[in-house]
A = this chain, B = another copy of it.
Amino acid sequence: MRKTDATIRIAKRELEGHFYEPRTGLPGVLFIHGWNGSQDRDAERSRAISRLGCVCLTFDMRGHGLTQSERPKVTRTDNLEDICAAYDKLVTHPSVDASCILVVASSYGAYLSTFLTAVRPVKWLAMRVPALYSDDDWDQPKDAIDREDLRLYRSTEVPLMSNRALKHCQHFGGDVLIVESEKDERIPHPTIASYLASFKRACSITHRIIEGADHSLSRLESRRVYDEILVRWIKEMVLAAR
């Protein structure tokens, strides 16, 4: 059990109280959207996964949702800070077992989630179409990165030691799911291969390709297949472990 402060506010005063509660300890799931994405894309998925007995948190990164106007200035440092703050919000939820955190991230969010694993405990990592960026332009606004440079960078397998995200993958000791889109116009297979090669200490690696899918899963059928892959993996990894 645990004891926590509970301040009871009435009109102009505060009463001192305390909660005493059992450690129910549900797994916590942090959803991280991609660049130009939003938390709304994970809303239905979060509902479904919460019904399996997990506490899910979705959020809009800086430069998205209500702060969309800031997008041109936002850097990876900014968004990594956002992700850490969201993680901290999730683990302090009273029903969450802080030692059982799953991160479900897409594209740019999946790239940043590798940095999260270096600073916060993450037990399970589900990455859909993880993006990859060179370390060099880390402090540039994300929107200012040259698209052609990016295309070139992602078109061949990136050596593990030359990229911080891949180095973080190398140290990750949990279970990994990597979901690729067969017809991805942004993330070509060599980038996926770079990630797959980097998880040298993972408990398990599950790699799946969604046939005919594009980067953003614009087709309903592709989203349905992704949901199936994700839920099956969560049942196997997260729920069976408990």
Interface on A for B, CB 8 Å cutoff? 1, 3, 6, 8-11, 13, 15-22, 24, 26, 39, 43, 46-47, 49-62, 65-67, 81-82, 85-86, 89, 93-95
- Is the CB–CB distance between A1 and B47 below 8 Å? yes
Nearest opposing residue in chain B for A60, CB measure: B16
Note all chain B residues with C-beta closer than 8 A to A46: 3, 18, 20
Copies of this chain per assembly? 2
Given contacts A6-B57, A20-B56, contact A15 B47 (CB under 8 A): no
- Is the CB–CB distance between B50 and A22 below 8 Å? yes
Instruction: Please indicate which of the listed interface residues A15, A18, A86 has the most CB atoms of chain B within 10 Å of its own CB.
Output: A15
Known: A19-B93, A21-B95. 18 other contacts (CB 8 A): A1-B50, A3-B46, A3-B47, A6-B57, A13-B62, A15-B62, A16-B39, A16-B59, A16-B66, A17-B39, A19-B57, A20-B43, A20-B57, A21-B55, A21-B56, A22-B26, A22-B55, A95-B95
